[in-house]
């Protein structure tokens, strides 16, 4: 994985209008951080199957609680939470997730690939974010 600043630079250069994170791991945290620094919305896709399988393998109840607490914290910071079914939305609501941010997004929808200009266009040509400033 590239450095944090290199990753933020790459995301900044792509000029995203929103950021979608698939899992609340290191890359999900990077996406969440970038969305906050660049002031673009972040949607978290809740991976119910993966998390359920992981919790089934963990026998320590405290560890399961920590995983659930971390996930609740992570998704509380996103602007929206995508789930695959109404049942999944209801389950998250019962676990304390903000039901107003949850929406059902069934798989299989086609989204055309995004094209990027040959020369990167700065998101704001008047001022580069301070976290990307290179004093050298």
Ordered structural domains, the chain, with CATH: 4-108 (3.40.50.2000)
Rounded Cα distance between 89 and 82, Å, is 8
pLDDT at residue 125, as a whole number: 47
DSSP bridge partners of 45 = 82
Q: How confident is the model at residue 47 (pLDDT cuts 50, 70, 90)?
A: confident
Rounded Cα distance between 63 and 57, Å, is 11
pLDDT at residue 124, as a whole number: 56
Percentage of the residues of the chain whose pLDDT score is greater than 90: 38
- The beta-strand segments (E) located in 17-115 are 19-21, 42-45, 80-83, 102-104
pLDDT at residue 38, as a whole number: 92
More confident residue, 56 or 38: 38
Cβ-based neighbour number of residue 65 at 10 Å: 10
pLDDT tens digit sequence for 58-115: 778 888 888 889 999 999 999 999 998 898 899 899 989 999 999 998 765 555 565 6
H or E element, residue 94: helix 86-94
User: Is residue 1 within 8 Å of 58, Cβ to Cβ?
Assistant: no
């Amino acid at each position: 994985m590239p450095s944090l600043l290199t990753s933020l630079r790459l995301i900044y250069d792509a000029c995203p209008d929103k950021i979608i994170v698939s899992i609340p791991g290191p890359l999900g945290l990077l996406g969440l951080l970038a969305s906050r620094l660049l002031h673009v919305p972040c949607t978290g896709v809740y991976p119910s199957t993966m998390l359920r399988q992981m919790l089934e393998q963990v026998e320590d109840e405290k560890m399961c609680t920590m995983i659930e607490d971390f996930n609740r914290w992570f998704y509380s910071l996103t602007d929206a939470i995508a789930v695959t079914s109404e049942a999944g939305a209801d389950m998250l609501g019962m676990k304390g997730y903000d039901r107003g941010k949850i929406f059902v997004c069934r798989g299989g929808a086609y989204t055309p690939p995004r094209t990027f200009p040959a020369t990167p266009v700065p998101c704001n040509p008047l001022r580069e974010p301070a976290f990307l400033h290179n004093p050298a």
